[in-house]
Amino acid sequence: MADEWGEGTAGLLLWDTPPLTRAEPRKDAKTPGDSRGKGKRAREARTHRPATDKPVARILVDMPQAHLDRPFDYLVPEKLAVQARPGARVRVRFAGMLIDGFLIERADDSDHQGTLRYLERVLSAEPVLTAEIAGLARAVADRYAGTLADVLRLAVPQRHAATEAETAPSAAPGWAGPDLLPRPDPGPWARYPAGPSFLAAVAAGRPARAAWTALPGAAWPDEIARAAVTAASAGRGAVIVVPDARDLARVDEALAALVPPPNPLLPSAGPGYVTLTADLGPAERYRRWLAALRGETRIVAGTRAAMFAPVRDLGLVVLWDDGDDLHAEPRAPYPNAREVLALRAHRAGAAALIGGFARTAEMTRLVRSGWARHLGPDRQTLRALAPLVKPAADEGDLGRDGAAMTARLPALALRTARQALAAGPVLVQVPRRGYLAAIACARCRLPARCTRQPGTAAARDQGTQCNGPLRLAGPDATPDCRWCGALATDAGGWHCQGCGHDKLRAVVTGAARTAEELGRAFPGVKVRTSGGDLVLPRVPSQPALVIATPGAEPLADYAAALLLDGWALLSLPSLRAGEETLRRWLAAAALVRPGGTVLVHADAALAATQALVRWDPVTFAERDLAERAELGFPPAVRMAAVTGESTAVASVIKGIGPAFEVLGPVPLDQPPSASQAADEVRALIRARRGDGAALAKALQAAQAGRSARKEGGGARVQLDPPDLL
């Protein structure tokens, strides 16, 4: 298997991204302030002298306008010649204002024909923007039709001057970095046929790229830690990205078991690894980020923001649970950690380990293209470690219990829970939080809607109403609107708009109501809930019913799991409904001990249910990708969503030209918002996979043109949006 992880696919370029080139300033470009501030420049000429070596600094100014997305040339005064290093934070005068920026490079001359201004100051001589991260940020901006300044705001944290000063590098000039870590044994990787050979490729520095389908159980943090330490043992860096703080805590624990603590007697000894979390505070977070920047540590683990961690000599990137929506950045240009890490591994010639219990269509595409290879268990090992999965109602149960298919808690589920409670805790996964997440008229079954008049004058003039879905927060609560929060009694009490009836019934039952029902069904059994603002990290391995929403399941050695209301997940209006449902089911089922029982309350004939029963996410993902390719859906094609005021969206569509397929624009279908424009629309733009770079470039040019013309109205451009509906 050693040749399987060789360099045969290292040259494939799968992100439609051209090789990175420096954005050269236009020869006819005007330096900001050419037509004003002549007295200021005259004084600068009398008081400043340019540096003798490479006097021109190319600066990327921190400006959001798309037409300013290029470096600008400035002169380096002689007094700042030593401090003005590539990667340093600087301040320059731009259009009459003092603006922060990054010094990209130093040069001997400039293409600009006019007079150059001097740098105002160097905020910090610390080269916080490395060449690798600068190139990656440019590639990410080009892929997502964004600006480099927006990406750098995500990649480089805000400066914390006190921390920067107190943690100044103390190593000798010839210091080569921390001592090499001992290479760990394969451990749980030995359970995978290609696991040891993948680790050998990582240790040898080969660009092995794995689409990882993890075995069920709690060993995945240890497997990630061993892969990262293997890279560090060869003197290479590793970046680990997980969805949330709970997963990061588990990876932190696994790394601590493999990485020895730093020697306090050696002043230059850095930590063996660092974790980056949002709750560290700006000082501690910046301190750990600087440790990676200065080469004091080779392993960085964190959530989404860690994808840009400036580790040196990158040898491995790891992404766990790549289908989790937490990996999608909600700020412009909206990159996804999976795409960023894959692009980073490709550019750096590093290995990649991307996957989870499930498989996404995007990773399946990478496997089909040859960039990544499947890394998973054989069927014999999987059968030994996976629980027994079956639908909550089969033909035999229907013969004994005619309501087994329609009942929310069929008799088989209750019997399974009762038997499993004698051996340990039972997990009950409920898709929705709250008590009754959706309610309807008790007579005609029409969904209950809010009748409150919205606050905007335009909506009142049109005689419209909120129409948001009503819910019930508790057994004695008054129904309220999930959109605007208004109580159903605010307008004289709720009445069905279809038949006038004033009684309600449950449509979607939440976790709180489920806990109440199970508490009555199992008197004397402890009931725990996890979800929303109260997420339990662990529960004891003692008999108890644990009701949790997807993603909030506490760690425990569960004897059984009940996956309720599968229809609520599968019926979501999303292209990824099946993929997301299977991912959540597998994550919950993986917590059940080998030989335990998992009951899924869903139609046994559905593809997602069959994939769970067979524990075969790979075949499901391959079928899903084939269907998307046939229908022209991502990731088989590249798509962009343009959202904003109708005039702005029309301007963007006009700016990209007729080369791409435009769907829409159509009015937005979402809850009313005080900040939402009355005529806000959305258009989808589709391009063939090979034309993805051209689409991104055209959208960049369209946005730059609007910015240069100072057109009013906002238009948000998002390539590869996580959801098209």
pLDDT at 172 over 60: no
pLDDT at 267 over 50: no
Rg (CA), the chain: 29
**What are the domain boundaries of the chain?**
38-166, 187-381, 387-434+510-614, 637-719
Range 279-282, long-range pairs (CB < 8 A, 24+ positions)? 279/245, 282/157, 282/158, 282/160
pLDDT at 2 over 50: no
The pLDDT assigned to 30 comes to 42
Q: What does the DSSP assignment read for 604-668?
A: TTSHHHHHHHHT-HHHHHHHHHHHHHHHT-TTSEEEEEEEEEHHHHHHHHHHH-TTSEEEEEEE-
Domain 387-434+510-614 has CATH 2.60.120: no
**Which fold, 187-381?**
Rossmann fold (3.40.50)
pLDDT at 646 over 60: yes
Residue type, 65: Q
Question: pLDDT-based confidence at 13, cuts 50/70/90?
Answer: very low
**Which fold, 637-719?**
Alpha-Beta Plaits (3.30.70)
Q: What percent of the chain has pLDDT over 70?
A: 84
Q: What percent of the chain has pLDDT over 90?
A: 61
| Residue 96: exposure state from Cβ atoms within 10 A (0-12, 13-18, ≥19) | exposed
Between residues 320 and 166, which one has the greater pLDDT?
A: 320
Mean pLDDT value across residues 196-223: 97
Q: Which residues pair with 355 in a beta bridge?
A: 212, 320
**Same fold? 187-381, 387-434+510-614:** yes
* pLDDT tens profile 662-721: 998 998 866 555 455 557 899 999 999 999 999 999 999 999 999 999 887 789 999 999
pLDDT at 643 over 70: yes
Cβ partners under 8 Å of residue 618, min gap 6? 213, 359, 364, 374, 376
* pLDDT tens profile 508-520: 677 787 888 888 8
Q: How many other C-beta atoms lie within 10 A of the C-beta of residue 281?
A: 11
Mean pLDDT value across residues 75-101: 93
* pLDDT tens profile 40-66: 555 555 567 888 899 999 999 999 899
pTM (2 d.p.): 0.87
Question: pLDDT-based confidence at 499, cuts 50/70/90?
Answer: confident
Say how far apart CA 666 and CA 683 lie, in whole Å. 6
Q: Mean pLDDT score of the chain, rounded to an integer? A: 85
Question: Does residue 311 contact residue 293 with C-beta atoms inside 8 Å?
Answer: no
* pLDDT tens profile 297-354: 999 999 998 999 999 999 999 999 999 999 999 999 999 999 999 999 999 999 999 9
pLDDT at 213 over 60: yes
To which CATH superfamily is domain 38-166 assigned? PriA, 3(prime) DNA-binding domain (3.40.1440.60)
